[in-house]
Amino acid sequence: MVATERGSDELPLAGTDKNELENIEIELLLSGVHRLYGYDFRNYALPSLKRRIWHHVHAENLSSISALQEKVLHDRTCFERFIYSLSIPVTEMFRDPGLFMAFRQKVVPLLRTYPYIRIWHAGCSTGEEVYSMAILLQEEGLYDKARIYATDMNNRSLQQAKEGVYEISKMKQYTKNYLEAGGKHAFSKYYTAKYNSVIFQPDLRKNIIFAEHNLATDTSFNEFNVIFCRNVMIYFNDELRDHVHGLFCESLSRFGVLVLGAKESIHFTRYSDSYEPLDRVEKIYRKVK
């Protein structure tokens, strides 16, 4: 193909130009979403963000990121679907049972010494992690002096969390996790089955406050003895991760406990010196300064 035979605007884009164009389209999409709706994804890790954006382009039957931008900015329901698809609400009850076992053994004895306990589940998704904590605290006799704050940026997930209704087919795996996590009873005591679903006992919800909170844009709202933020920051870049660790450090009381996901760590963040490990393997840290 001879360039002079075609208008220069018809030249096919070389590989790096294509990449550059894709980055520009993503930047414009995220900046538009931030300006119009206030949700800020600009500091999410690019490789996984790209994958999820393309996945959503196809789910909306579109062929480019610019087309998605047009639709997201003009159609609020499309924006809501977009948020849901970027949020990756994957979770389970007593996820990583070893962590919950370690929490029982190493954190519960500390919590027993407090008159009152505040726990924040940041990025709680559809609530399975929060009900797991409520069950654990109830079994350890700590629930009545606890307040659990369960937050997420995704309102659709939070609605499900508030209802506490889950598919019955998941109970087999959850029962296994519960027992491996040191569960003391029959897991079925905590829910009532109805058709293909189960609903968790309303009693478990009485000290839980569900609220929308965005880690990228919202500030601290209380002082906590424990913060769980598991499998959320893996989707952030270093800058946003540091920002969120700043928020947690500010929100934790002295000797407060921070619990991260299996693939996450406090190391290589600006706050690594502020914590000591309570359980290095299970990613449980205690704030020391």
Ligand X SMILES: C[S@@+](CC[C@H](N)C(=O)[O-])C[C@H]1O[C@@H](n2cnc3c(N)ncnc32)[C@H](O)[C@@H]1O
Q: Applying CB under 6 A, which residues contact ligand X?
A: 87-91, 95, 123-125, 129, 152-154, 157, 214-216, 230-232, 261
Proportion of the chain in helix, strand, coil states, percent, rounded to 5? 50, 20, 30
Query: What are the distances in angstroms from CA 205 to CA 27, 157, 185, 212?
Result: 40, 16, 19, 17
Burial class of residue 144 in the structure, from the number of CB atoms within 10 Å of its CB (0-12 exposed, 13-18 middle, 19+ buried): exposed
Q: Give 1 or 90: the residue with its C-beta nearer to ligand X.
A: 90
Helix 76-87 vs helix 155-163: angle between axes, to the nearest 10 degrees? 70
Structure tokens at 208: 């839980």
Burial class of residue 31 in the structure, from the number of CB atoms within 10 Å of its CB (0-12 exposed, 13-18 middle, 19+ buried): middle
> DSSP H helical segments within 140-280, as ranges?
155-163, 171-180, 238-251
Instruction: With CA atoms as reference, report the closest residue to 122 among 207, 233, 38.
Output: 233
Burial class of residue 196 in the structure, from the number of CB atoms within 10 Å of its CB (0-12 exposed, 13-18 middle, 19+ buried): exposed
Structure tokens at 48: 């996984």
Q: In what order do the strands lie in the sheet with 191-194?
A: 165-167, 197-200, 191-194
Number of Cβ atoms within 10 Å of the Cβ of 25 = 18
Distance between CA atoms of residues 147 and 74, nearest Å: 40
